[in-house]
Amino acid sequence: MARAMFEYTKAVLEKVSFNKELFKKELEKALNRLLPYEIKELYFWLRDFTVNKPDLHNCLALVKN
């Protein structure tokens, strides 16, 4: 079940990546729902996902903390 939430989170973040504010809002919700090891995994996924999206780079700081 937990893995399904992680995959759902990634799908939502991909869909809202066109809007920086919406992306940040969904990321904050995900950080409240996911397990600690999933948050670490999400950080690595975000790092790769935002390589070509410089406006989303500051969202990595949310996950690091």
- Tens digits of residue pLDDT in 17-39: 999 999 999 999 999 999 999 99
Question: Higher confidence at residue 43 or residue 2?
Answer: 43
Q: Given this model, what pLDDT does residue 50 score?
A: 93
> Across residues 1-10, what is the average pLDDT?
86
CA distances from 26 to 29, 45 (A): 5, 15
The token pair at 41 is 């995994």
- Residue 64 pLDDT class (50, 70, 90 cuts): confident
pTM: 0.89
Q: Given this model, what pLDDT does residue 1 score?
A: 59
